[in-house]
């Protein structure tokens, strides 16, 4: 396969990806045989995308397994953040964990658009054994004063409610990498 000569910063990065360029950073410090930090990206190899799998106490990658913190498309670990996340505390589009917060959330306690939990659930659809609060709530105490008291006095749910109410503002953070990319592109053009 012949690649065209890249003339922009974006094409340079694409060309590197075609050549199998991959970022893979691991700290030399190991604890119990696991690196403290492991960050990796995927790459194109033989025309196919090979996912970056990160494993560490703190792991960041396409698929990540982190003992303390895991961030990735699919994240598994203590605190897991990603598109799909499973962990003690999970934040994701689909979150599974003891404390789960996401579009779809499943856990001991869960909050999100659709929340299913053993003890307490909060969201548009909230299903739980004991406490549920939301548009459609199913539990022993669903949308009543006892449930209201539980959710107001629970740190996870009061925090989750604040996050869910202001989540639109987090979308503004997506603009920052775009602005940085445009600045880098302009600098690259100006240096020619």
Q: What is the pLDDT of residues 133-191, one digit of tens each?
A: 888 889 899 888 988 888 888 888 888 877 777 767 766 766 777 777 777 777 777 77
Take residue 175 and report the two structure tokens written for it.
């603009």
87: pLDDT confidence band, cut at 50, 70 and 90?
very high
> Could you give the CA distance from residue 140 to residue 3 in angstroms, rounded to a whole number?
63
The structural domains of the chain, with segments of one domain joined by +, span 9-186
Query: Which tokens sit at 74?
Result: 């699919």
Whether 100 shows a pLDDT value over 80: the answer reads yes
Q: CA-to-CA distance for 126 and 25, rounded, in angstroms?
A: 41
Return the pLDDT at 34.
83
User: For 119-131, how does the pLDDT look when each residue is reduced to its tens digit (9 = 90+)?
Assistant: 999 988 999 999 9
Q: Given this model, what pLDDT does residue 9 score?
A: 47
Determine the Cα–Cα distance for residues 111 and 101; give it in Å rounded to an integer: 5
pTM assigned to the model:
0.69
* In the chain, % of residues over pLDDT 90: 22
Better pLDDT: 6 or 105? 105
Where residue 1 falls among pLDDT bands split at 50, 70, 90? very low
Containing H/E element for 97? strand 53-127
51 by DSSP, 3-state: which?
coil
Does the structure show a pLDDT above 60 at 15? no
CB 85 within 8 A of CB 96: yes
Q: If pLDDT is split at 50, 70 and 90, which confidence band does 117 have?
A: very high
Number of other residues whose CB lies within 10 A of the CB of residue 186? 11
DSSP 107: E
- Give the per-residue pLDDT at 159: 82
What is the reported pLDDT for 105? 92
pLDDT of residue 5: 46
The pLDDT value given to residue 192: 65
Check residue 171 and give its pLDDT. 66
The proportion of the chain whose per-residue pLDDT surpasses 70, expressed as a percent, equals 84
Task: Give 81's strand partners.
Answer: 71, 91
Helices marked H in the chain = 9-18, 145-152, 155-165, 167-170, 175-190
Token pair for 21: 């360029």
Q: What angle do CA 131, 165, 133 make, to 5 degrees?
A: 15
pLDDT of 83 over the 50 cut: yes
Q: Closest by alpha carbon to 56, among 41, 71, 42, 66?
A: 66
**HSE (CB half, 13 Å, CA atoms) of 149?**
5
């Amino acid at each position: 396969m012949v690649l065209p000569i890249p003339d922009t910063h974006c094409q340079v990065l694409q060309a590197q990806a075609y050549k199998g360029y991959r970022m893979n950073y691991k700290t030399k410090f190991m604890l119990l045989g696991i690196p403290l930090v492991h960050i990796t990206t995927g790459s194109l190899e033989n025309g196919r995308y090979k996912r970056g799998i990160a494993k560490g106490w703190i792991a960041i990658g396409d698929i990540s397994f982190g003992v303390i913190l895991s961030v990735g498309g699919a994240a598994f670990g203590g605190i897991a953040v990603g598109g799909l996340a499973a962990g003690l505390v999970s934040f994701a589009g689909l979150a599974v964990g003891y404390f789960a917060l996401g579009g779809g959330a499943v856990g001991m306690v869960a909050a999100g658009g659709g929340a299913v939990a053993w003890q307490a659930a909060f969201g548009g659809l909230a299903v739980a054994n004991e406490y549920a609060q939301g548009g459609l709530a199913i539990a022993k105490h669903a949308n009543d004063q006892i449930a209201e008291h539980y959710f107001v006095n629970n740190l996870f749910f009061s925090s989750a409610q604040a996050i869910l109410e202001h989540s639109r503002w987090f979308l503004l953070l997506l603009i920052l990498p775009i602005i940085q990319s445009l600045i880098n592109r302009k600098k690259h053009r100006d240096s020619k």
